[in-house]
Amino acid sequence: MARTPMRWPGVRVCVCLVAVCGGGAWAGPASGDAEAMDAARVMRPSSALGVHGGAREGCVGGADIGENGLLFDGGLPNQQNANEMTRWLQAEDFELTQASVVASIRFWTLEAAPTAWAGVCNYAIYEDDGGAPGAMLESGVLNLIGRTLTGNIVAGLAEIVYNFSFPAPVSLEAGVYWIGLHMHTGCTTIRSILWVTTSNNFGAAGHERFECLGAWEPNGNQHAFLLYGEAQPPGCPGDIDGDGSVDVVDLGRVLASFGLCSKDVGFDPDADVTLDGCVGEADLGVVLEHFGAACP
């Protein structure tokens, strides 16, 4: 049966994608297969591809994300579409309903070969600019917690779930932001790693930058991801002693535990404002930023 590709700015995808949810090893194209090495942003359904043994809902897999709670639910993968994220920088918006400390992220990819990933995942967090990524707030390289084949095979591509932690927990006020992800060391090589879409997401369609440069362009899709961390209770960030203000007492407690972590003698858990298990520059920064503030 002939199929006509649907074209989006960041991916060329064929219709009629079907996921096979199973626990066996991936039997996709080998690294030398011409089809696997064909045009960069393609997911092909095979006419013989079907759901063998019945589809299983929720085959998401993945390592333990840690003790952090779910802050934002960007939806689970629907295996219907995807956008390439090695030559393109991909971004999705998210909303925090209260001030939060974001510690880790989970997302899903489709990959042409298990060895496609070069071992690097770059991230950036942006302000929202009217439904598109705005000014960049911070960027860095995520730390891998786990990478697991889910058992889903979509058009000959293996679905993989990634769990990453941020190099340091990210403190954000309530509001709308964008998370940008890029899965390679450079932006000019295509390794056929695609961010899987979802049917349940927030806000605007995803955006992308070709070769990580230039203007952001809508990619026509929304992508599956989850953010984990800790929501901050109403009050004053940095009010360590809970007296209703951020003052020299709070500053003194941070300085007294500065450089100590949870296993160290003398560690003050209340001075760990960012909840990363240590008292350091980030905690001091929160106290200094809100120094002199009174709780509402």
Sheet containing strand 11-14, edge to edge, reads 5-8, 11-14, 42-43
Token reading at 42: 């393609």
pLDDT tens-digit readout, 20-60: 322 222 223 333 333 333 333 434 332 222 222 223 333 33
Q: Can you tell me which residue has the tokens 């709070």?
A: 250
By C-alpha distance, which of 263, 294, 287, 261 is closest to 275?
Answer: 261
Last residue of a domain, one of 213, 231, 249: 231
105 with 215, same domain: the answer is yes
E-assigned strand segments in the chain? 5-8, 11-14, 19-21, 42-43, 69-73, 77-84, 88-96, 100-111, 122-128, 133-141, 143-154, 157-172, 175-182, 193-198, 207-210, 217-218, 225-231
Domain that holds residue 263: 236-296
210 with 258, same domain: the answer is no
Task: Please state whether the predicted TM-score (pTM) of the whole model is above 0.85.
Answer: no
189 with 241, same domain: the answer is no
Q: Which residues are 228's β-sheet partners?
A: 70, 104
Token reading at 248: 């020299």
- Statement: residue 287 has pLDDT above 70: yes
Q: What is the pLDDT, as a whole number, of residue 296? A: 66
Name the residue type at position 293.
A
166 with 286, same domain: the answer is no
166 with 240, same domain: the answer is no
Q: What is the pLDDT, as a whole number, of residue 3? A: 32
- Statement: residue 85 has pLDDT above 80: yes
Give residue 222's region: left, alpha or beta (phi > 0; psi -120 to 50). Answer: beta
Give residue 283's region: left, alpha or beta (phi > 0; psi -120 to 50). Answer: alpha
Confidence of residue 288 (pLDDT cuts 50, 70, 90): very high
90 with 211, same domain: the answer is yes
Distance of alpha carbon 142 from alpha carbon 164, whole angstroms: 6
Q: Can you tell me which residue has the tokens 């058992």?
A: 151
Task: Compute the average pLDDT of residues 268-277.
Answer: 90
Q: At what angle do helices 281-289 and 248-257 cross, to 10 degrees?
A: 170
Distance of alpha carbon 171 from alpha carbon 149, whole angstroms: 31
Q: What is the rounded average pLDDT for all residues in the chain?
A: 79
Q: What is the pLDDT, as a whole number, of residue 206? A: 96
Give the SS3 label for residue 286: helix
Q: What is the pLDDT, as a whole number, of residue 51? A: 23
101 with 211, same domain: the answer is yes
SS3 content of the chain, % helix, strand, coil (to 5): 5, 40, 50
Last residue of a domain, one of 199, 231, 263: 231
Q: Tell me how many helices (H) and strands (E) the chain has.
A: 2, 17
Distance of alpha carbon 40 from alpha carbon 58, whole angstroms: 28
Last residue of a domain, one of 186, 205, 231: 231
Distance of alpha carbon 17 from alpha carbon 78, whole angstroms: 10
Q: State the greatest distance between any 2 C-alpha atoms of the chain, in Å, as a whole number.
A: 73
111 with 251, same domain: the answer is no
pLDDT tens-digit readout, 49-65: 222 222 333 333 334 45
By C-alpha distance, which of 274, 74, 290, 282 is closest to 177?
Answer: 74
Span between the terminal Cα atoms of the chain, in Å:
64
Give the SS3 label for residue 119: coil
Confidence of residue 235 (pLDDT cuts 50, 70, 90): low
51 with 174, same domain: the answer is yes
162 with 222, same domain: the answer is yes
Q: What is the pLDDT, as a whole number, of residue 114? A: 79
Domain count, the chain: 2
Q: What is the pLDDT, as a whole number, of residue 234? A: 66
